[in-house]
Chains A and B, each alone.
Chain A
Amino acid sequence: MNAFLYVDFLRCTACFACETACRTAHGSGSRIHLAFADGLPVPLMCRQCENSPCAAVCPEQALAWDTTHGVVLLDERCTRCGLCAMACPFGVLSVHPLECPNVVKCDLCRDRRAEGKRPACVLTCPTEAITDEAQRPLTRRRLTGMVPSVLASPFSQNLSGSKARRQRNEAFREKDPR
């Protein structure tokens, strides 16, 4: 898996499963935040930035980035000063001393991964809007966006190029009414 979560906004249906899954997995506030832009949902969580402002600003070096784990929080160093939350350009870090002892930040389900399980939000998302395998959504985007859509059409499954195109065009030929 990648050391970050890949989000395909167009697939999100705002079902809030990721938020409740995150809450269940961590036993405290959700690390994923479903934000809405123009009424459409945008799931936001730690982007695991390589050149991370949160790590740069941390006075105790409690945050550090590496290729396999992303931005890792070293609990024992953290003083809950909250500078990282202020520095985060996505606004997805927060400090809630009453609700959660540490910085509320996506840790890519460190505990679950140690047991060989995938992150809770990835497993639970009904439409695969969030995934830890960037390859699949990238392939899908390439198919739907760059390759002519006829090749991604259901009618082309058992047909080759031109015949598929002709059949599909017949199936969906549209004229103006009247």
Chain B
Amino acid sequence: MNAATPVRTVCPYCAVGCHLDLLVENGRVAGLEYAVDSPVNGGRLCAKGHAALEMLNHPDRLQHPLQRSATGWVPVSWDRALDTAAERIGKILAAHGPDALAFLSTAKGSNEENYLVQKLARVLGTHNVDHCARLCHASTLTGLAPMLGMGAATNPLSDLGRSDCLFFVGSNLAENHPVAFRWVQEAKDRGARILVADPRRTPTAWIADLHLPLKPGTDLALLAAMLHVIFQEGLCDDAFIAQRTRGVEALRASVKDTDPFWAARLTGVPARDIVRAARLYAKAPRASLIYCMGVTQHVLGTETVRACADLALVTGNVGREGSGLFPVRGQDNVQGACDMGALSGLLPGYRPVSDPNARIFFERAWGLPAGTLGAVPGLTVTEMEQAAGDRVRGLIAIGENPVVTSPDSRKTQENLKRLDFLLVVDLFITETAELAHLVLPAAAWAEKSGSRTNTDRRVQWSPKAVHPPGEARPDWKILTDLAHRLGLGSFFPYTCPEDVLEEIRRVVPAYGGMSPRRLATAAEGIAWPCPEENHPGTPVLHEHRFATEDGLARLYPVVFREVPELPDADFPYCLTTGRVTLHYNSGAMTRRSPSLGSRSPYLFVEIHPEDAAREGIRHGERVRVVTRRGTMEARAHVTGSIGPGVVFAPFHFPETNALTQNVLDPAAKIPEFKTAACRLEKMRGTGP
């Protein structure tokens, strides 16, 4: 054991960014040690963090490039694989032009890698680059950016511990960001009030002073009613509204009729509780609003995000320590991937492609001829998959598994099969990789170095601890090599991730002060914006002015609409999807982990006892869940923690998204994952 050297890496799972000390012995990870002195997690780790090591030496890990042949997968050399990829991409470019190509970037990659994916796409001449933020927090960007000037969390997560009232809307922090929940518990110990609006009584709701079990898709009605109460009872912070915001009259008028009794009919939450929640939130000296997928993954995602921000703004709970707006991100680098412009409509640093100055800036910075970058945004994740095999002929998916994660997944799968070329770069043969023409083996988090940005905009450097298995390579290396084969070598002169970070510093002002050396030595990372080398970083945003042109926040009026697919006679229940603590997104990593898989091995659906009795379903029995798009089989969990009429299924299993609907929020293009009308059918036998 004496030979083991600890290497401090950043956990590859959620966006809290916990430190994980790997014990490296003879070039292999021998174990982990708790980073007790870490200012981020103080040694704490969740179940997934512990299981992260199982990913490094997993027998299913891809070790060689694999090419599809008539008889199955054939291992090929890297040279041959990259030549094939370049040739197939070249053919598509020649025949159909650059917009026939699409790139799925990854929130599991470093900032440097995301920067390279979008640069490769844009140097080739297309804005068809997007990543899974489209499926989680796209509505945060479209919702918050015009209001506050930035679509990011306003405060560090540790500020949750300093709040006097925490209002969770559609966020199950206890299960999905367990380590961050320590600050919530800390606040609770100090006497803070906890409010949770969620259709399910989740572990987050267990410690709540007030749980508002609303019907899925009615968050906006609840928020509108709370705004109504706040205006009606004069609980708003008039000085803050007058000095720092614009548009209060339109907002006030829009919530004039949205009283708690109206909302009670829509949400199913008693009017009395809505009034209580509004008073508790508005009267607390420092209140925080935490929201997540329950707010964003709706057709009304953008509007609901804006209502959350309205609530924080009219009560003056933005721009101070301990009171803020927390859109909690799900993946370790989803914030960074957005910052790096791996989005179809935004260049690095959130500069819209429609802005001619931004286009000229990047054409100059990258040495491209004027006019290379188009003014029209590219295709988003769901649009790419809809156009696959049609307008899109080639798709490069890096660390993404759309067959599991995209709505109406059967359709997605059919479309992907019609592509001329599907290149997948991943750790495992995922459900998407099974359809690919070429699969390239990637390096996992501890096998490469790079910077990653957590949910509170904290940029942390995670160094390489061990070599990847077999011939697997880091994404930045694969992308650079591919660019060289495509004849774009002069745009990709990188020899290490640090070179890429230096370029990012030049083109993204918020990252300007983050030199590789400074990041490597900063114990808890640096929060952007950090424009200069001697700038300390900005943990709390909007302290004196908002990032809008005139420095004032915009308040947006609230208009409620019903969800697109309401339960009816044929499909009487509302299916909602979400996460469970032992699994992670598409499950590619966690379903393969022995310690997590053994505790949560199968797909289940939560059903209220009344509904179960009506359908004759008992706990543990197999049921079939049917929507207009598909069918899945799962085991029934009969539980009172979910409201009557609602059925919950985790989305970590390939079956779930065959049921969800591909109806998009018009601004954010985020699908309606959270509601779908379904029916339940009892099955014979108890199954596995």
A binds B: yes
A141 CB → nearest B CB, Å: 11
Among A14, A19, A128, A152, the one with the most B-chain Cβ atoms within 10 Å of its Cβ is A14
Contact B46 A126 (CB under 8 A): yes
Task: Say whether A176 faces chain B, with CB atoms less than 8 Å apart.
Answer: yes
Contact A174 B641 (CB under 8 A): no
Contact A20 B44 (CB under 8 A): no
Contact with A along B420-456 (1 / 0, CB 8 A): 0000000000000000000000000000000000000
Task: Say whether A95 faces chain B, with CB atoms less than 8 Å apart.
Answer: no
Interface stretch, picked from B171-179, B246-254, B464-472, B567-575, is: B171-179
Task: Say whether A145 faces chain B, with CB atoms less than 8 Å apart.
Answer: no
Interfacial residues of chain B within 148-182, with CB under 8 A of chain A in the complex: 164, 174-175, 178-182
B144 CB → nearest A CB, Å: 27
Q: Contacts of A171 on B, CB cut-off 8 Å?
A: 283-285
B105 CB → nearest A CB, Å: 30
Contact B47 A13 (CB under 8 A): no
Task: Say whether A104 faces chain B, with CB atoms less than 8 Å apart.
Answer: no
Q: Contacts of B190 on A, CB cut-off 8 Å?
A: 152-154
Q: Contacts of B59 on A, CB cut-off 8 Å?
A: none
Q: Contacts of A149 on B, CB cut-off 8 Å?
A: 191
A3 CB → nearest B CB, Å: 22
A159 CB → nearest B CB, Å: 12
Contact with A along B167-209 (1 / 0, CB 8 A): 0000000110011111001010111110000000001101100
Task: Say whether B614 faces chain A, with CB atoms less than 8 Å apart.
Answer: no
Task: Say whether A35 faces chain B, with CB atoms less than 8 Å apart.
Answer: no
Task: Say whether B582 faces chain A, with CB atoms less than 8 Å apart.
Answer: yes
Complex Cα–Cα for A16 and B189 (A): 22
Complex Cα–Cα for A17 and B279 (A): 35
B312 CB → nearest A CB, Å: 18
Task: Say whether A24 faces chain B, with CB atoms less than 8 Å apart.
Answer: yes
Interfacial residues of chain B within 560-588, with CB under 8 A of chain A in the complex: 581-582
Question: What is the predominant secondary structure among interface residues of chain A facing chain B?
Answer: helix
Complex Cα–Cα for A14 and B600 (A): 13
Contact A17 B32 (CB under 8 A): no
Contact with B along A6-37 (1 / 0, CB 8 A): 00001101111101110110000000000000
User: Which of B189, B276, B596 has a CB less than 8 Å from the CB of A174?
Assistant: B276
B111 CB → nearest A CB, Å: 27
A168 CB → nearest B CB, Å: 9
Given contacts A14-B203, A152-B190, contact A177 B44 (CB under 8 A): no
Among A21, A124, A154, A176, the one with the most B-chain Cβ atoms within 10 Å of its Cβ is A154
Contact A177 B178 (CB under 8 A): no
Complex Cα–Cα for A13 and B175 (A): 7
Contact B34 A123 (CB under 8 A): yes
Q: Contacts of A140 on B, CB cut-off 8 Å?
A: 189
Contact B182 A24 (CB under 8 A): no
Q: Contacts of A126 on B, CB cut-off 8 Å?
A: 44, 46, 178-182, 185
Given contacts A17-B50, A123-B43, contact A155 B181 (CB under 8 A): no
Given contacts A19-B599, A20-B50, A177-B260, contact A123 B178 (CB under 8 A): no
Contact A15 B206 (CB under 8 A): no
Q: Contacts of B658 on A, CB cut-off 8 Å?
A: none
Q: Contacts of B276 on A, CB cut-off 8 Å?
A: 174
Closest to A14 in B: B203
User: Which of B46, B284, B639, B641 has a CB less than 8 Å from the CB of A17?
Assistant: B46
Task: Say whether A127 faces chain B, with CB atoms less than 8 Å apart.
Answer: yes
Contact A21 B45 (CB under 8 A): yes
A111 CB → nearest B CB, Å: 11
Among B34, B260, B285, the one with the most A-chain Cβ atoms within 10 Å of its Cβ is B34
Contact A15 B174 (CB under 8 A): yes
Complex Cα–Cα for A125 and B182 (A): 9
Contact B47 A17 (CB under 8 A): yes
Question: What is the predominant secondary structure among interface residues of chain B facing chain A?
Answer: helix
Interfacial residues of chain B within 593-649, with CB under 8 A of chain A in the complex: 595-596, 599, 639-641
Task: Say whether A40 faces chain B, with CB atoms less than 8 Å apart.
Answer: yes
Q: Contacts of B32 on A, CB cut-off 8 Å?
A: 24
Closest to B282 in A: A171
Q: Contacts of A128 on B, CB cut-off 8 Å?
A: 182, 185
Given contacts A20-B596, A149-B191, A154-B164, contact A127 B279 (CB under 8 A): no
Contact B581 A16 (CB under 8 A): yes
Contact with B along A30-71 (1 / 0, CB 8 A): 000000000110000000000000000000000000000000
Contact B283 A17 (CB under 8 A): no
Q: Contacts of B191 on A, CB cut-off 8 Å?
A: 149, 152-155
Q: Contacts of B280 on A, CB cut-off 8 Å?
A: 172
A22 CB → nearest B CB, Å: 9
Task: Say whether B36 faces chain A, with CB atoms less than 8 Å apart.
Answer: yes
B126 CB → nearest A CB, Å: 42
Contact with B along A109-124 (1 / 0, CB 8 A): 0000000000010011
Closest to B41 in A: A126
Task: Say whether B517 faces chain A, with CB atoms less than 8 Å apart.
Answer: no
Task: Say whether B328 faces chain A, with CB atoms less than 8 Å apart.
Answer: no
Task: Say whether B272 faces chain A, with CB atoms less than 8 Å apart.
Answer: yes
Complex Cα–Cα for A126 and B44 (A): 6
Task: Say whether B275 faces chain A, with CB atoms less than 8 Å apart.
Answer: yes
Task: Say whether B51 faces chain A, with CB atoms less than 8 Å apart.
Answer: yes
Complex Cα–Cα for A3 and B528 (A): 45
Q: Contacts of B187 on A, CB cut-off 8 Å?
A: 154
Contact A20 B271 (CB under 8 A): no
Complex Cα–Cα for A19 and B594 (A): 13
User: Which of B51, B179, B192 has a CB less than 8 Å from the CB of A20?
Assistant: B51
Q: Contacts of B283 on A, CB cut-off 8 Å?
A: 171-172
Interfacial residues of chain A within 127-144, with CB under 8 A of chain B in the complex: 127-128, 140, 144
Closest to B50 in A: A20
Complex Cα–Cα for A145 and B203 (A): 22
Q: Contacts of A177 on B, CB cut-off 8 Å?
A: 229, 260, 271-272, 275
Complex Cα–Cα for A61 and B32 (A): 35
**Top 10 closest A-B pairs, CB basis?**
A15-B178, A20-B50, A13-B174, A153-B191, A177-B275, A16-B47, A13-B203, A20-B47, A127-B185, A126-B182
Q: Given contact pairs A21-B45, A24-B32, enumerate 18 new A-B contacts (beta carbons under 8 Å).
A: A10-B207, A13-B203, A15-B174, A15-B203, A15-B581, A17-B50, A20-B47, A23-B50, A23-B595, A24-B31, A124-B43, A124-B44, A124-B45, A128-B182, A140-B189, A152-B191, A153-B191, A154-B285
CB<8 Å pairs between A and B, sample of 18: A13-B204, A13-B206, A15-B47, A15-B581, A16-B46, A17-B45, A17-B47, A23-B50, A23-B595, A24-B50, A123-B36, A124-B43, A124-B50, A126-B185, A127-B182, A152-B191, A154-B164, A154-B190
Residue positions of A touching B, CB distance < 8 A: 10-11, 13-17, 19-21, 23-24, 39-40, 120, 123-128, 140, 144, 149, 152-155, 171-172, 174, 176-177
